[in-house]
Amino acid sequence: MDDDQLTRAIEDNAAELLMAMGAAGGGSQRNDATARWTIGGSPLDYHNAVVAGGPAAVPESVAELRKYGVPGSWHVGPALRSPELHTALLAAGFTHGGSEPGMALRLTDLRQPDAVPGLELIRVSTEAALTTWQQTLGQGFGEGEKEARWVASVYRPLGLTDPWRHYVAFLDGAPVGTITIYFAAGVAGVYFVMTVPEARRRGIGAALTAAALRQAEPEAQYAVLGSSAAGRSVYESLGFRAVCEIDLYELGVPVVDGG
């Protein structure tokens, strides 16, 4: 894939994941020539997501968020980005929540990180294992237990088989990390990479990511992800490189006029 194709794959993989998770959460789905979104299925702004649309769709998205009484977000990559959209989002009350690099890696170029003695990666295949995944994720990712509970609640109806792969990393038998691999848009998307606070700075994040991606290689030639500032150096050490930027615009629970 060239960089344009990789950029599209980064955007499309994330969009498919957000739409699927939102639908499983009971959100309303829109996918037409004007906009694509999932709204109302999550208490989290990130997952009440608009993944396609132009300036004209901004007030419609606010109205949908108001209808459900939830916070929401626009996920704006190169395919959507324009000065006009930026202006429309700010005028509607959205704030720019920052940018993250969209990164990609040909899996044959995956670098082997330093081994972590006692580390084992186990794929989630049972309800009990998903509960362990949830409890581990809740110790240090995003909005903590609130986000972990919601994510696990939608993964249950979505199922534990491809295109979803969830893993728990165990260190000397204790759960210390999580990762999810999602196959869509012809690539393996990397999500929910987390190491519990007391086990950080030991190379666990790199080791568990590499282990999960080695298992993904038969099904995909490329892996993609959106990185936090803290995680970027870890992914670069594995061979990932930035090919685009994804902007997040966030809106709290919209206020009903006169309310």
Looking at the fold, whether 113 and 85 belong to one and the same domain comes out as: no
Looking at the fold, whether 172 and 187 belong to one and the same domain comes out as: yes
Question: What is the mean predicted confidence (pLDDT) over 124-139?
Answer: 96
Single pTM value for the model = 0.94
Looking at the fold, whether 117 and 78 belong to one and the same domain comes out as: no
Tally the domains of the chain.
2
For position 256, what pLDDT does the model report? 60
Question: Are the beta carbons of 207 and 110 closer than 8 angstroms?
Answer: no
Residue 258 is assigned to a structural domain of this protein = no
Give the pair of three-digit tokens for residue 145: 């237990």
The three-state secondary structure class of 94 is: coil
Question: What is the mean predicted confidence (pLDDT) over 18-46?
Answer: 97
DSSP string, 7-51: HHHHHHHHHHHHHHHHHHTT-EEEESSSEEEEESS-SSGGGSEEE
Looking at the fold, whether 150 and 237 belong to one and the same domain comes out as: yes
Looking at the fold, whether 86 and 110 belong to one and the same domain comes out as: no
Residue 198 is assigned to a structural domain of this protein = yes
Looking at the fold, whether 70 and 123 belong to one and the same domain comes out as: no
For position 128, what pLDDT does the model report? 97
**From start to end of the chain, where are the E strands?**
28-31, 35-39, 49-53, 72-76, 95-106, 119-123, 164-171, 174-184, 187-195, 222-226, 241-251
Question: What is the mean predicted confidence (pLDDT) over 150-164?
Answer: 96
- The 10s digit of each residue's pLDDT in 51-108 is 999 999 999 999 999 999 999 999 999 999 999 999 999 999 999 999 999 999 999 9
For position 11, what pLDDT does the model report? 98
Residue 259 is assigned to a structural domain of this protein = no
Residue 151 is assigned to a structural domain of this protein = yes
Residue 166 is assigned to a structural domain of this protein = yes
Looking at the fold, whether 146 and 25 belong to one and the same domain comes out as: no
Question: What is the mean predicted confidence (pLDDT) over 173-195?
Answer: 97
Range of the domain at 40: 3-100+246-251
DSSP letter, residue 108: G
Looking at the fold, whether 188 and 220 belong to one and the same domain comes out as: yes
Residue 256 is assigned to a structural domain of this protein = no
Closest by alpha carbon to 122, among 59, 167, 75? 167
In the chain, the percentage of residues whose pLDDT exceeds 70 is 98
Question: Are the beta carbons of 72 and 48 closer than 8 angstroms?
Answer: yes
For position 156, what pLDDT does the model report? 95
Looking at the fold, whether 237 and 112 belong to one and the same domain comes out as: yes
Q: Token match 């929910």: residue? A: 192
Residue 220 is assigned to a structural domain of this protein = yes
Looking at the fold, whether 52 and 174 belong to one and the same domain comes out as: no
DSSP letter, residue 197: G
Q: In this predicted structure, which of 28-37, 141-150, 162-171 has the lowest mean pLDDT?
A: 141-150
For position 259, what pLDDT does the model report? 45
Other CB atoms within 10 A of residue 176 CB: 26
Looking at the fold, whether 16 and 84 belong to one and the same domain comes out as: yes
- The 10s digit of each residue's pLDDT in 209-258 is 999 999 998 899 999 999 988 889 999 999 999 999 999 999 998 766 54
Contacting residues for 236 by C-beta, under 8 A, at least 6 apart: 103
Looking at the fold, whether 134 and 178 belong to one and the same domain comes out as: yes
